């Protein structure tokens, strides 16, 4: 078990900039305000599809540009990671836990890459197709048994790639 005192030394406190502080004020946020915000998130019924589609379209465009070598490998990985990060960050708010879980796996994969080749692009493209289907069918939540299976398959594909290519 890790020593808690060692973990506390790794914590960084980042002060909000002046503009943000002027908007929210100083001091603590009341528990009531936090509860109200949590309730809004939990009861959110906004359609995630249009926002998700934007990020998925950007990812598809990045895949296309990567294949045609219109962008460098480093730019390709950075753009892909940005799209996936946006999907991951927004998925939970809109109750698409499966999208967030799959995006987390893909983000780890992209961050592990030293270079991107055709096989890595195929994995990203399969991820794109999977997320597109989930969003299109509006599969909220974690996907149950099917969701766990998708997550395991993506994880195994990433691990196989890393074993074969020595990217870790």
Give domain limits for the chain.
49-165
pLDDT at 6 exceeding the cut of 50: no
Determine how many CB atoms are found less than 10 A away from the CB of residue 82. 15
Residue that wins the pLDDT comparison between 9 and 3: 9
Structural fold of domain 49-165 = 1.20.120
Q: Return the biggest CA–CA distance within the chain.
A: 53
Determine the Cα angle at 135 with ends 131 and 137, to 5°. 115
Q: Are 81 and 105 in contact (CB under 8 A)?
A: no
Task: State what percent of residues in the chain have pLDDT above 70.
Answer: 92
pLDDT at 11: 66
pLDDT-based confidence at 90, cuts 50/70/90?
very high
**H helix intervals, 4-143:** 4-9, 18-24, 31-42, 49-67, 73-91, 97-112, 118-136
Mean pLDDT value across residues 57-62: 98
Tokens, residue 133: 């289907």
pLDDT at 4 exceeding the cut of 50: no
């Amino acid at each position: 078990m890790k020593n808690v005192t060692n973990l506390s030394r790794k914590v960084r406190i980042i002060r909000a900039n002046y503009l943000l502080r002027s908007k929210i004020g100083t001091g603590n946020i009341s528990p009531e305000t936090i509860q109200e915000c949590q309730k809004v998130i939990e009861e959110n019924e906004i359609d995630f599809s249009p926002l998700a589609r934007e990020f998925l379209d950007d990812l598809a465009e990045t895949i296309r540009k990567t294949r045609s070598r219109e962008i460098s490998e480093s730019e390709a990985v950075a753009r892909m990671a940005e799209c996936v990060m946006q999907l991951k960050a927004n998925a939970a708010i809109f109750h698409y836990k499966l999208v967030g879980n799959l995006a987390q796996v893909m983000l780890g994969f992209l961050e592990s890459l030293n270079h991107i080749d055709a096989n890595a692009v195929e994995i990203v493209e399969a991820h794109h197709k999977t997320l597109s289907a989930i969003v299109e069918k509006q599969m909220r939540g974690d996907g149950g048994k099917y969701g766990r299976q998708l997550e395991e398959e993506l994880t195994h594909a990433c691990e196989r790639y890393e074993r074969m290519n020595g990217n870790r």
